[in-house]
Chain A
Amino acid sequence: MKRVRLIHAGREQWGVVSSDEQAIALADGSTVGWDAATLLPPVTPGATVFALGLNYADHSVELGFKPPSQPLVFLKGPNGFVAHGGVSPKPRDADQMHPECELVAVIGRTARRVAASEALDHVAGYTIACDYAVREFLENYYRPNLRVKNRDGLTPIGPWIVDAADVGDPQALALSTTVNGTTVQSGSTGDMVFPVAELIAYLSGFMTLSPGDMILTGTPHGVHFVGEGDEVACTVERVGRLVHRVGLQA
């Protein structure tokens, strides 16, 4: 199933997308047409949001780094999220803003000291994020610093969460980014340095993961700077296609 969060009848709700992707079924049994729905980021309020740096060997090499010996994890606040179909504002004082297509694992059950062999049992499903970086603001303190990776509106996410059972092996998915129809990133989750199960084992080894927590699992190679008006689409096989537009900071 594909689960969306939307605002309908004046309230936030979760719904299930029909198999033809034309309608959304709500908890009360009513339905909303897909085209009439106002989607929200499929994020549980308060969730802890992890992201991975340098988790694809080819992207590490592209940036001049050796792949890390342990996961390079950073955290994100909720201020960055933008729903499918939304707008990500490019800062006026920076031009090196590049999209990063990422598979997102959504925790379904509390996880504490979970072995990698059991870790995927704690995943409810998967979604897609475009975890923008703005390179002009990189500093070598708690890098990647929040000014680069946690800016308002620069983390489109969605459109939905697909049940883990419908995705299957999370390490066998093609993922790509197009900008105005031209492919700028193309890779496979099979190239992750630390696969989803190992990331959950690592994180849950020192802290408790709760339902709704999310892990943005890193991005493959392909650094392409976007500009105002660009249409960006991030696709992950068996999960979906997340589309947004680049705007300009007010």
Chain B
Amino acid sequence: MIGGTAYGVALNDREQVAALGDALGEKPYGKPPVAPILYIKPRNCFAASGSAVTLPGDVAEVAVGATIAIERALAGPPVARLAIDLFVPHASFYRPAIAERCRDGFLPLGPASAPPADLASIEIVTHIGGAERHRWSLSRLVRDPAALEREIATFMTLAPGDLLLCGIAGDAPTARAGDTIEVTAEGFAPLAVSLVAEQAR
């Protein structure tokens, strides 16, 4: 289903950056970020809508980072997918968060569709256990998808099939084993997954 590499962007939510405030000028960071802060969600993370994602025994809860993945086309405009960047909540952005972000099944992705015209301000809603738990708009992004692509292109080339998760809300809700998650946004088919506890070994 996914033929490329999935890149995410950390600290691309203005509200999150504002909440961190002066901390970004202090150790260990020294100064606020200059370039987009990218990370990779490797292939073991990919999961389809409808999947049951296993929470490993050492993960009590996960953050549910509902977002839009922009998929690079071979030619012409990109397509987009709903995506859930699942990750173990972590306070520090100093070192790459591989053990936090790269667990098996931690990137559920919806089907591809043409991005709506209002993508830059689209609202993404997260339901957990049937109740609305989070709602945010891509208008909160520090860099919108077009700006991200422009700045990333100065040092690396996205290939056809590559995905760019355009940002994660700093106040993303958390979920636990047994929860069902559904993410919706106008113009996209809903993306639903369930979280299941790992069987005792």
Chain A interface residues toward B at CB < 8 A: 46-48, 50, 72-80, 91, 137, 139-147, 150-152, 206-210
Contact = CB atoms under 8 A, between A and B. Distances in A.
Contact of A152 (B30, B40, B93, B157): B157
The 4 closest A-B pairs by CB, nearest first: A48-B42, A75-B40, A146-B38, A74-B96
B96 A77 contact: no
A210 B38 CA distance: 23
Nearest to A47: B43
Contacts of A50: 98
Given A48-B42, A73-B96, A207-B102, A142 B37 contact: yes
Given A77-B156, A151-B155, A206-B99, A145 B37 contact: yes
B94 to A, nearest CB: 6
**Which range holds the interface residue count of chain B?**
35 or more
Contacts of A139: 33-35, 37
A151 B156 contact: yes
Given A142-B37, A206-B99, A48 B94 contact: no
Contacts of B7: 77, 146
A79 B156 contact: yes
B40 A76 contact: yes
Contacts of B144: none
How would you classify the secondary structure of chain A's contact residues: helix, strand, loop or mixed? loop
Contact of A72 (B29, B39, B95, B102): B95
14 contacts: A47-B43, A48-B42, A77-B7, A80-B156, A137-B155, A140-B29, A141-B10, A141-B93, A141-B94, A142-B37, A146-B40, A207-B44, A210-B43, A210-B44
Q: Output the residue of B29, B30, B33, B98 with the most chain A CB within 10 A.
A: B98
A46 B161 CA distance: 11
Given A75-B39, A137-B35, A142 B156 contact: no
Nearest to B161: A46
A78 B11 contact: no
Nearest to B11: A141
B60 interface: no
B156 A143 contact: no
B145 interface: no
Contacts of B42: 48, 75, 207
